[in-house]
Amino acid sequence: MTAVSEAATSSALRTREATVRRFAFTDMAFRTATRLSAILVLVLLGGVAISLVAGSWEALSKFGFSFLTTESWNPVTENFGALAPIYGTIVTSAIAILIAVPIGIGIAVFLTELCPRPLRRPIGIAVELLAGIPSIIYGIWGLFVFAPFLQTTVQPFIIYIFHGIPGLSSLFAGPPYGIGLLTSSLILAIMVLPFITSITKDVFDTVPAVLKESAYGIGCTTWEVTRRVTIPYTRVGIMGGVMLGLGRALGETMAVTFVIGNAHRISASLFAPGTTISATIANEFTEADGDLYTSSLVSLGLILFIITFIILALARYMLLRIDSRTGA
């Protein structure tokens, strides 16, 4: 019996050791795979940055810092400046976010707090379906439907309302083209709205019910619960949705190309045609017949890359400041 018992014990120990070794190998393989995945992301990011710097070196070495401060864009004389595309990119994206964020948060509050339960799913699906529409469809709709509507109704009315008012009269001056910076901003706002709404609604659903019920129990209104409980609890998720929408707005190409007017000039009026970095690249890259021309377009891509990186870094810094003030 002793020999049999010792054999059984030895077999059990060997089985346990084999199992432990198998688990250790699986764990090591998992850690290695995740580490390599993280390293791959950094390698891809670095490769993109190096490629952009190498491709734009000729233009940057010739024009220097003036490339960022020059409005002129003349392929014939090979005189290129990025100021107009940078201006158009920042202005259209900023206006789109200013419009989409409050509307998106409002829709998310309605769906989570106020909407009748039978309507929540249909409205939520309808909002999310907007994200699946191809950007070229938004562009075609904007050019043939939305822009003519703005040209014949909204823009003349705004020009009439703000005529003679200092500041606002120049901001909404000029003939009503229909296309322009404001039109592209509105199209971008429609495009980023489902992203902001969907993410905001999802993070609102993560708020513990006991927090909201406690607030309602002491007499808070829906507005007070949203302002004092829901939004502070989910501020990081909301910021993530806003940054996702801003990234989409900064890099959007086809829809903006259809309705912005593609004019390399800076105007104080939001009704005037303009251009963005992505629209310029899409319009002219296939026609770039010289090394300097191509390098200038790649330089625009590098600038857009840097702008996106800076905005994301600032957003992260803002979140850290908020967390440090609240003690989170």
pLDDT per residue over 198-221, tens digit each? 889 988 988 888 888 888 888 888
DSSP character string of 225-263? HIIIIIHHHTHHHHHHHHHHHHHHHHH--HHHHHHSB--
- pLDDT at residue number 3: 60
pLDDT of residue 1 exceeding 60: no
- Compute the distance between CA of residue 178 and CA of residue 258 in angstroms, rounded to an integer: 12
- Compute the distance between CA of residue 138 and CA of residue 134 in angstroms, rounded to an integer: 7
Phi, psi of 79 (to 5 degrees): -115, 110
Report, as an integer, the average pLDDT of 238-257: 87
Between residues 186 and 118, the one the model is more confident about: 186
- Compute the distance between CA of residue 186 and CA of residue 99 in angstroms, rounded to an integer: 8
- Compute the distance between CA of residue 162 and CA of residue 292 in angstroms, rounded to an integer: 43
Q: Which range has the worst mean pLDDT, 30-44, 97-111, 204-218?
A: 204-218
Enumerate residues 6+ apart whose C-beta is below 8 A from 229.
207, 211, 212, 215, 220
* Local confidence band at 326 (pLDDT 50, 70, 90 cut-offs): low
- Compute the distance between CA of residue 91 and CA of residue 87 in angstroms, rounded to an integer: 6
pLDDT of residue 328 exceeding 60: no
pLDDT of residue 39 exceeding 90: yes
Specify whether the backbone of 134 is left (phi greater than 0), alpha (psi in -120 to 50) or beta. beta
pLDDT of residue 30 exceeding 60: yes
- pLDDT at residue number 291: 87
- Compute the distance between CA of residue 243 and CA of residue 315 in angstroms, rounded to an integer: 8
Average pLDDT, the chain: 87
- pLDDT at residue number 276: 93
* CB of 279 closer than 8 Å to CB of 183: no
User: ∠ CA 218-220-221 to the nearest 5 degrees?
Assistant: 150
How much of the chain, in percent, has pLDDT values that exceed 70?
A: 94
Report, as an integer, the average pLDDT of 168-173: 85
| Amino acid making up residue 63 | F
Give pLDDT tens digits for 131-150: 888 889 999 999 999 999 99
* Local confidence band at 252 (pLDDT 50, 70, 90 cut-offs): confident
Q: Which range has the worst mean pLDDT, 14-28, 48-62, 233-247?
A: 14-28
Report, as an integer, the average pLDDT of 290-310: 90
pLDDT of residue 240 exceeding 90: no
- pLDDT at residue number 322: 67
Report, as an integer, the average pLDDT of 143-168: 89
pLDDT of residue 34 exceeding 70: yes
Sign of CA dihedral 121, 126, 130, 134: positive
Give pLDDT tens digits for 73-88: 888 888 898 999 999 9
CA 29 to chain centre: 35
By C-alpha distance, which of 223, 246, 245, 232 is closest to 319? 232
How much of the chain, in percent, has pLDDT values that exceed 90?
A: 37
pLDDT of residue 286 exceeding 90: no
- Compute the distance between CA of residue 300 and CA of residue 281 in angstroms, rounded to an integer: 8
- pLDDT at residue number 301: 92
- pLDDT at residue number 257: 92
Enumerate residues 6+ apart whose C-beta is below 8 A from 315.
239, 242, 243
pLDDT of residue 185 exceeding 90: yes
- Compute the distance between CA of residue 174 and CA of residue 190 in angstroms, rounded to an integer: 25
Enumerate residues 6+ apart whose C-beta is below 8 A from 74.
80
DSSP state of 274: B
pLDDT of residue 4 exceeding 70: no
Residue 189 burial class via C-beta count within 10 angstroms: exposed 0-12, middle 13-18, buried 19 and up? buried
Partners of 74 in the β-ladder:
79
- Compute the distance between CA of residue 194 and CA of residue 100 in angstroms, rounded to an integer: 9
- pLDDT at residue number 56: 92
Between residues 14 and 124, the one the model is more confident about: 124
- pLDDT at residue number 133: 87
Structure tokens at 136: 């070229």
Task: Count CA within 13 A, CB hemisphere, residue 136.
Answer: 1
By C-alpha distance, which of 275, 311, 269, 245 is closest to 86? 275
